[in-house]
Amino acid sequence: MSKKPEDNIPESPNPALDPNYDVLDPERRDFIVNYMAEKIDKYGMGTPAMVFLEAGRPLSFIGGSIMWGAAPFLNIFVNDKYTREIALFLEDRKNIEILIQKIEQLEFERVAREKIERQEAKKRAIAEGRKPWWKFW
């Protein structure tokens, strides 16, 4: 018996059959936080992102509700699982706080790393006999 192409389509989650449909797994939440924070830090947008998240924190629940309402239309473009995870992530304000803390941590580490690199570059320049540009005498 040959398989039909319809057999390869994954089933959409059914809230009636899945008791954890409206709960975001902590491991998955940590993955989302790390992924978002690393992307924000990669482009050096930590401070603007923290300001935006702090300002929008009271509206995060509304954002999650909008995601639930837009899910039928968003599922045309993205998987239902991702839409559900982002909606659940936005509904809990603690997740936004965790994301802000992670962005702060990555921002602090990046700034410290850049400071060390600048100090090492100064030492190399002095060791090579080049005068630092800030010394005019």
Handedness of CA 22, 24, 104, 48 (dihedral sign): negative
What's the Cα-to-Cα distance from 62 to each of 34, 85, 92, 103, rounded to whole Å? 23, 15, 10, 22
Q: Count the domains in the chain.
A: 1
pLDDT confidence band for 124 (50 / 70 / 90): confident
pLDDT at 81: 83
pLDDT at 11: 59
Is the residue at 16 inside a domain? no
Rounded to 10 deg, the angle between the 26-42 and 46-56 helix axes is: 130
- The owner of tokens 């830090």 is 41
Domain coverage including residue 46: 24-127
Alpha-carbon gap, residue 25 to 85, rounded angstroms: 9
Is the residue at 8 inside a domain? no
Examine the pLDDT at 16 and tell me if it is beyond 80: no
Closest CA to 132 of 120, 114, 123: 123
pLDDT at 61: 86
Q: What six digits make up the tokens of 38?
A: 């690393």
Is the residue at 133 inside a domain? no
pLDDT at 105: 96
Is the residue at 114 inside a domain? yes
pLDDT at 14: 62
Alpha-carbon gap, residue 46 to 54, rounded angstroms: 12
Closest CA to 128 of 137, 120, 116: 120
Q: What six digits make up the tokens of 137?
A: 């005498």
Is the residue at 10 inside a domain? no
Tell me the whole-structure pTM to 2 decimals. 0.73
pLDDT tens-digit series, residues 65-122: 898 899 888 888 888 888 888 889 988 889 999 999 999 999 999 999 999 999 998 8
pLDDT at 46: 93
What totals of helices (H) and strands (E) does the chain contain, helices first?
A: 5, 0
